[in-house]
Amino acid sequence: MAWTIDSYLTDCRQVVEGELERVLPTADESPAVLHEAMRYSVFAGGKRIRPALTFAAAECLGGSRQAALPAAAAIELLHTYTLIHDDLPCMDDDDFRRGRPSCHKAFGEANALLAGDALLTLAFETAAASSTAPAAIVRVLATAAGSRGVVGGQVADLAATAQQADEATMRFIHEHKTADLFRAAVEMGALTARANAESLAALSAFGRACGLAFQMVDDLLDADNPDDHSFSCVHIMGAERARAYATTLTTEAMDALRPFGDAAAPLRALAKRLLERTS
Amino acid sequence: MAWTIDSYLTDCRQVVEGELERVLPTADESPAVLHEAMRYSVFAGGKRIRPALTFAAAECLGGSRQAALPAAAAIELLHTYTLIHDDLPCMDDDDFRRGRPSCHKAFGEANALLAGDALLTLAFETAAASSTAPAAIVRVLATAAGSRGVVGGQVADLAATAQQADEATMRFIHEHKTADLFRAAVEMGALTARANAESLAALSAFGRACGLAFQMVDDLLDADNPDDHSFSCVHIMGAERARAYATTLTTEAMDALRPFGDAAAPLRALAKRLLERTS
């Protein structure tokens, strides 16, 4: 069978879901409600894009999917915690996530807050179990996720939604809320394959550009939803410029992959798919 | 000057606060409100008991305070995040902490939630910067802090406050909400001193017993506060039995230190001080 990005994504999803299944306690373990809430949000039908980036980055450098597995699971656990906390009433106050009640709607606000805290913690426990470069992987994940990364982006996003924002603010938000985690996904995969500094920098540039394009496309897709009033690049720069910029960023991402030749085919196909997706 | 536990605690506090000052971004870095909120809660006059346990455990095995410094700062960052999230309206809904407005009262609920998230993340970033055994230290911290540790204890605590609870529930809560972090503080210090398995197990038993006694004393001290309606061992077993049990646990903690002779003097003095404290 010919290689396709769809079968690649399906394979990655199955592999990472096996690991998520393994590291997440079941409701047999007390407190049952906490473990149920964690699993409810982790197994909610996510596309597992960030783990696929981790695998593809590792494979691009000749690393194995097996070695990248803890890092891939960790990035997805961390991503899930951001969704749970984002949906809380004091944040975006979203009652639904992927067509189902959001975690706090299903389990109550305190349990959702704590399920998010536990998933963030489990992300680091899982990353630290990597057989290659565990401390470096934890540091990359923590730097991307912390106040200089995702959390900083969230704070800026909340402030921007409440007031008039400019293009510089938009760039700060996209860089940190989204691109930092894409970059970390790729860097963690590269570290599991013992990347040298040059390869790490090239893949990091790919991850960043890919993440910025992803957020542009996200905002463009959300712009068709009249109920969505969250901060969006479409309000700042208009749909046409946003679409053009997403394409430019994807080209930038592809350029960063030039040193890797055919080994980067899955990364290229992922970047292309993320640009062209319709959901 | 004769060695006293007061001077020991003061020294430890100064050393760990230097490191906390170093690892925490200032409000000069964007988003200012986030970094202000993080610092507001970290520098709120805490006694830094957990870092002192980390230092004392390291020194008990001939390790240095310098090598234990990242672990000591990490445990305090993690402890501070638990306080911020505990105080949130959906949790204990406390307007005050250490005589000042709690984080969400001072900075708003979303910023407090995110400041807690960022401190938890920074705890792992800091732990991973340890020059000795960083991955093992991250794993100890994450296991103690996660759904099988502190977060699990919090969920049980919230459920117990809302209903009649028994002694088994109380033990589960004390074990996880409090003792797991004390145990981690001591184990992390021991790991920075390259502890062997036997020493690690003995110090772990010390940390656990010390943490259980600490929570008993906390509940006894809070029992004098008529405004406090949170879950307490005093309601379950009465003040007299609780006091006796705290003493038994402290003796158990002291017993675990027997192999270490004079090197464990600071750990002994800490356990004694935690039992006899009045605030």
Give the mean pLDDT of A263-268.
98
Per-residue pLDDT tens over the stretch B127-148: 999 999 999 999 999 999 999 9
pLDDT at B102: 98
pLDDT at A33 over 90: yes
Q: Are B216 and B175 in contact (CB under 8 A)?
A: no
pLDDT of residue B229: 65
**Mean pLDDT over residues B267-279, rounded?**
95
Chain A: residue nearest B148 by CA?
A30
Whether A123 shows a pLDDT value over 90: the answer reads yes
Is residue A229 very low, low, confident or very high in pLDDT (cuts 50, 70, 90)? low
Interface contact flag, B128 A139, Cβ < 8 Å: yes
Determine which of A178-187, B17-26, B140-149, B226-235 has the lowest per-residue pLDDT on average. B226-235
Does the pLDDT value for residue A228 go beyond 80?
A: no
Bridge partners of residue B97, in order along the sequence:
B100
Read off the DSSP letter of residue A96: E
Mean pLDDT, range A203-217, rounded to an integer: 97
The runs of H, that is alpha helices, within B223-256 are 233-256
Contact at CB, B151 and A25, closer than 8 angstroms: no
Angle at A253 between CA A249 and CA A256, to 5 degrees: 140
DSSP string, B133-185: SHHHHHHHHHHHHSTTTHHHHHHHHHHHHHS---HHHHHHHIIIIIIHHHHHH
Answer yes or no: is pLDDT of B1 > 60.
Answer: no
Q: What percent of chain A has pLDDT over 70?
A: 97
Q: Which chain A residues are Cβ-neighbours of B89 within 8 angstroms?
A: 90
Type and span of the H or E element at B97: strand B96-97
Summarize the confidence of residues A247-258 as an average pLDDT: 98
B243 or A224: which leads in pLDDT: B243
Contact yes or no for A106/A96 (Cβ under 8 A): no
pLDDT digits (tens, 9 = 90+) for B78-131: 999 999 999 999 999 999 999 999 999 999 999 999 999 999 999 999 999 999
> How high is the pLDDT of residue B224?
78
* A45 to chain B, closest Cα gap in Å: 22
Residue B227 pLDDT more than 70?
A: no
- Give pLDDT, residue A139: 98
- Own/partner pairs for A92-96, CB < 8 Å, 24+ apart? A92/A230
Chain A CB contacts of B148 under 8 Å are 25, 29
| pLDDT-derived band at A39, boundaries 50, 70, 90 | very high
Instruction: Give the best residue of A114, A121, A132, A154 to mutate against chain B (max B CB count within 10 A).
Output: A121
ipTM (interface predicted TM): 0.97
Q: Which of B120, B142, B147 sits opposite A34 (nearest CB)?
A: B147
Within 8 A by CB and 6+ apart from B8, the residues are: B52, B56, B266, B269, B270
Cα–Cα distance, A103 to A116 (Å, whole number): 9
* Backbone dihedral angles phi then psi of residue B100, each to the nearest 5 degrees: -120, 160
Q: Please tell me the predicted confidence (pLDDT) of residue B208.
A: 98
Looking at the complex, report in whole angstroms how far the Cα of residue A48 sits from the nearest Cα belonging to chain B. 22
What contacts A141, CB < 8 A, 6 or more positions away?
A: A71, A74, A75, A78, A123, A124, A127, A184, A188, B124
Beta-bridge partners for A100 = A97
Comparing CB atoms, the residue among A30, A81, A142 nearest residue B128 is A142
Look at B85 and A151 and tell me if their CB atoms are within 8 Å: no
Quote the mean pLDDT of chain B: 95
Write down the pLDDT at residue B163: 64
Q: Considering only CB atoms, which chain A residues are within 8 Å of B132?
A: none
B85 contacts A148? CB cut-off 8 A: no
All residues of chain B having their beta carbon less than 8 Å from the beta carbon of residue A134 are 134-135, 138
Length reported for chain A: 279
- The pTM assigned to this predicted structure is 0.97
Domains observed in chain B? 5-276 (1.10.600.10)
A117–B120 CB contact, under 8 Å = yes
- At residue B230, the pLDDT reads 73
| CA-to-CA separations, A148 to A142, A145, B18, B23, B104, in angstroms, rounded | 10, 8, 20, 12, 20
User: What local confidence, expressed as pLDDT, does residue B226 receive?
Assistant: 67
